Amino acid sequence: MSASEVTNEVLLRRGRVAAVVDPSTAALCRVEDSGRPLMAARQPGVAYDDYRGAVCAPWPNRLGGGRYEFAGRWHQLPLNDTAHGAALHGLTEYGWWRIVHRDEFSVELTQDVRTEPGYPFDVEVTARYAVDEHGLQAQITARNLGAESAPYGSCPHPYLVAGPGMADDWRLELPARTRLEVSPATRLPVESVPVPGTPFDFRTSRSLAGAELDHAFTDVAHDAEGWCTARLWSTVGQGVELSWHGSARWVQVYTGDSMNGGPRAAVAIEPMDCPPDAFRRGQDLVHLAPGSTHRLQWRLRAL
């Protein structure tokens, strides 16, 4: 990663850790440790329909039909996942972000999601990235600037790279006890299923060879400080670790089977405030009261 900076990217560097952020989308474009990529790269200023590195808000994942009821009123969102008839990954990927703070090690960007079609609420979303000697620290914060409660959820969308090879060469460790079964036609939730004794049990590190994952998991074990952790390991002993605060109770794992330019070249691990279709189902949906804030915190480091 070059030490030079061009106008369409923000470079953060501290010791052996470096990251690049796209100021126009707040997307995380690269994270490296001693020159080793920890995630699939994204070119600043370019749209990606696989949402790599994106900030997804005010909802994560899919909202079936884009139609939902909140506080007694019905709303219709545009459908940007026409293959599954859904509104996908919120509104912030294509909105206008502005930098509100920046220094050598961190950057903070903000977008106002105001009276968008199908989302008539006044919510300010802020993405913050910082690097230190251990890796990347990040958070997504929402603040309700309006006079009424707003439905809300978010997720980051990094595609992680464990080391040499591809997903079939790597092992996943994810201490989750429950997953959502989804409809093959719509990719929307059908039922919650315990993972012990099934091919979706990654509580002990297991190979991803032949596994096709695009599922949400919950009931994730956390440490004494409330942090959950997922790890990918390569065959040469390298790996990557993504941790998130357990206030985000869900995590989506996707083996990148339809990634742009290279299927299964990385594995998306996406901490989520709420599960897919939460605007319609209500499960773990954040009701963001006027004047209140909500934060999703996550970290990324090399192993």
Summarised one tens digit per residue, pLDDT across range 205-262 is 999 999 999 999 999 999 999 999 999 999 999 999 999 999 999 999 999 999 988 8
Report the C-alpha gap between 13 and 117 in whole angstroms.
38
Torsion sign (Cα): 261, 262, 264, 270: negative
Checking if the pLDDT of 117 tops 90, the result is: no
Cβ neighbours of 235 (radius 10 Å): 13
Residues 2-61 pLDDT 10s: 333 445 899 999 999 999 999 999 999 999 999 999 999 999 999 899 999 999 999 999
Beta-carbon contacts of 83 under 8 Å, excluding residues fewer than 6 positions away, are none
In order of 41, 191, 236, the CA distances from 57 in angstroms are 21, 24, 36
Look at residues 202, 214, 165, 157 and name the one whose alpha carbon lies nearest to residue 37. 165
Name the DSSP letter for residue 15: T
Q: Indicate whether 86 pLDDT > 60.
A: yes
Query: pTM for the complete prediction?
Result: 0.95
Q: What pairs with residue 171 in β-bridges?
A: 207, 233
